[in-house]
Amino acid sequence: MTGAASGAESPAPTDPTAPYAGFEGTVGKIFSTSEPHWPEPPTAPEGAPNVIVMMADDLGYSDLGCYGSEIDTPELDRLAAGGLRYTDFHVNPMCSPTRASLLTGLNHHMAGMAQVAHSDPGFPGYSHELRDNAVTMSETFRDAGWATFMLGKWHLTKDSHLSDGAPKASWPLQRGFDRYYGILDAFTNFHQPHRLYSDNHHIDVERYPDGYYFTDDLTDQAMRMVDELRSSHPRRPFFMYFSHGAVHAPLQAPAADIALFRGRYASGWDRLREQRFERQRELGVVPPNAVLPGRNTEDLHEVGPWDDLDDRSKELFARYMEVYAGVDRNFGRLRRHLEAIGEWDNTLVLFTSDNGGSREGQYTGTSAYFRTLLSQVRPTDLEVVDTDYARLDLLGGPRTLAHYPMGWAMVSCTPFRLYKINTHRGGHSVPFIVNWPARFGTADGALAGGVRGQYQHVTDVFPTLAELCGVAVPMSRNGVPAPEPAGASFAATFIDPAAPSTHPEQYYENFGHRGFYRDGWSVVTCHRPRRPFSQDRWELHNLAEDPTECRDLAATHPDRLEEMQQAWDRAAWANQVYPLDEGNQLVRILRPPWYDELAADTTLRPGTPTLERWRSQQLIFQKSFDIDVSLRWRPGDAGVLVAHGDQGGGYMLYVEDDRLLFAHNAYGDMTVLDCGPLAGEASSVQLAMENPGNLVWNASLSVEGEPVGEAPGLVSLMAMAPFEGIDVGVDRRSPVSWDVYERHGPFPYTGELQAVTYRPGELASDAGSLWLDYIKANGTRYE
């Protein structure tokens, strides 16, 4: 029997609306008997400001007029005159680490960014992408109701994730930006950028218009993003991270900007450094007790007297400095646009830099940046002033990738010692300007033009902006708890010049250089690569009495020295700083095993967008390789078959006047091999590049399997060159050969080109990966 008669209990009635749990309306069977509810969209507080965080690249403490420079920066000086300048603001002494700390509020190793975002040696602090559970400033402002825009240099994605087929978890849009326009890389050619990105894809540019300049383009795009937002929403505020590529190398500028500075640097770095220091004293941006240190004398960082240079070197070195106008001019353009559309007054603006002036130009500067980067990794005989002097009139234009000598980096960092990468104050002391016209120009108008001397760090920017804008910082990301923030808001110092610093201590580390700050005292080392860390000399400085680190008190305060060394070590373990880079290139040689599949034979077809630069390098880097070109050539067909590189270095195969030619660009020095006329209907061309080691390529060319030419003893390209990826059937953007470009532009192939196949071969005898065990065993003595 069943049912009630059986005595069994009936099932409890169920609530049919249970699947709607949490819905705040009511649900009937039809709309007419139901009550709707709409969740509130993320909305910024009433009257919330727009926010612009603008970061220059490699701009040292003294490189703005309002911080003592002879460089004309009227627009940024005007920003400072209406706002506040900080004189004890610090970053990490390198670009990617500072950008990671800025966006996350974390110390850079804890954010995953120990060094520049290129390699991945397999340790947490060196993953060289933003860690998954790090909450970013852009994500926070987006979720609080701001539109989020980014312009310019990202440099928070490791090289292996730059290409279209790679994961994009550490690309700008995946880290909180609604819109992005710029470069994911560390730098680019300002006249002919190697790879522009818009939002989540790269832009396939074949040729830039005459007069193109990257900083101008970024500013145009920034104004367009604001206009698009305001036309579609009347009051939603925007958060804009404007990350300049300038004034990082290559030092390039429009001719009109260069003309503004012609002759200004003829007096040399010693005199100009003294003049900057005197202006800094007059402006009140250095403490009254500050002393200008002598020229840098540390091993590998030393600068000689300007007066000891010969006349030709003086002329060349002065010309490297004539490229600074673009950032200031374009800031003025952006400001005037915001003023014209009524957005400026309620826009909170921060301007700073990512590190001090760069020493990457070494002792004599360079017209070929990649050549000089190579010299820092392994000795070469390629650094020749004669070569650079011959390019004197090309400096600043698209044909040279210039960088100034170390003496000008010393001037950039006035009045502090050393440079970018170093943990002395020259590496991490930078300008910091804040302005909020609606706040500083009205009730708090007395703030305008003020100077603040509190010690603050780039990790403090995120919490400061969050407090000023009334935004709560999430404590987790995607359900995973976020690391403890390293910074603290210093908004109180805006109003009260006597408010205490909110950053009592800070560790520093970069490429083995170490430092630690606590309550006005610092310890610091200058590490020489491949020297035991135990042999580093720690300096101790009382910064209240010695703000430029001129008087080492280590011998007189040994207990304080030891205490602060131990504090650095504790901070290092807590922030995933270890292991330290001993300078033997292990940080670059170590790589995940799955990279090997990217060195397999690769076939590219006409019409394929430029293969991304790192992906392209896996086919040729420190190894021999063959290129097979399949085509059906007929008389009259002409153009580029394959091109890899740009004006900084590369190689190409092309057909001109029915002749096969091979061009090799060795960091600006050209070799052209005429392989003779093509005959009949040629169907295959081969280029074999043998790499026996010692920076050598031996090139052999053949047609239909028959040898047609050789070019032994070519310079094999390294140190990020070739920087443009592989093109098939055209040479896009910056060309390998300027002569060919002047005759034909990108020179698209006019015939039937079927495919180009790269076949990677044996590693060079001195390739680092072959010597990994030896390097590690030898490196143990550096601990």
| Residue positions annotated with a catalytic role | 95, 155
651, β-bridge pairs: 644, 664
Return the SS3 of 143. helix
State how far the Cα of 74 lies from the Cα of 325, in Å rounded to an integer: 10
Residue with tokens 């010969």: 310
* C-alpha to C-alpha distances, 172 to 52, 348, 411, 482, 538, nearest whole angstrom: 16, 22, 34, 19, 39
The whole-angstrom separation of Cα 128 and Cα 765 is 29
Nearest to 731 by CA among 714, 717, 748: 748
Query: Helices (H) and strands (E) in the chain — how many of each?
Result: 20, 29
Task: Give 537-584 as a 3 state SS string.
Answer: CCEEEECCCCCCCCCCCCCCCHHHHHHHHHHHHHHHHHCCCCCCCCCC
- Rounded CA-CA distance 504/507 in Å is 11
At residue 647, the 3 state secondary structure works out as coil
Chain center to CA of 56: 10
**Whole-angstrom Cα distance, residue 780 to residue 647?**
40
Residue 482's CB: how many other CB atoms inside 10 A? 19
**Which residue reads 């919490």 in tokens?**
463
List 659's β-bridge partners, or say none: 656, 677
What is the distance between the alpha carbons of residues 344 and 637, in angstroms, rounded to a whole number? 56
The CA–CA distances, whole Å, from 219 to 152, 468, 745 equal 9, 26, 27
Cα–Cα distance, 347 to 52 (Å, whole number) = 7
Report the Cα 463 to chain-centroid distance in Å.
23
* Whether the Cβ atoms of residue 725 and residue 657 lie closer than 8 Å to each other: no
**What residue ranges in 647-766 does DSSP mark as E strands?**
649-656, 659-666, 669-677, 684-693, 696-703, 706-715, 726-728, 752-763
Nearest Cα to Cα of residue 581 among 622, 529, 646, 619: 529
Q: Are 133 and 482 in contact (CB under 8 A)?
A: yes
Q: What is the rounded CA–CA span in Å between residue 259 and residue 376? A: 31
Interatomic CA distance for residues 612 and 483, integer angstroms? 33
Q: Decide: 552 and 419 in contact? Cβ < 8 Å.
A: no
Q: Is 202 exposed, middle or buried (0-12, 13-18, 19+ CB in 10 A)?
A: middle
State how beta strands 50-56 and 347-353 pair.
parallel
Tokens of 570: 């504790």
Cα–Cα separations (whole angstroms), residue 463 to 135, 140, 141, 430, 468: 12, 11, 12, 19, 9
Per the document, the length of the chain is 783
How many C-beta atoms lie closer than 10 Å to residue 321's C-beta?
A: 24
Is the N-terminal amide bond of 247 cis, ω within 30° of 0? yes
d(CA 16, CA 768): 67
Burial class (CB in 10 A: 0-12, 13-18, 19+), 552: middle
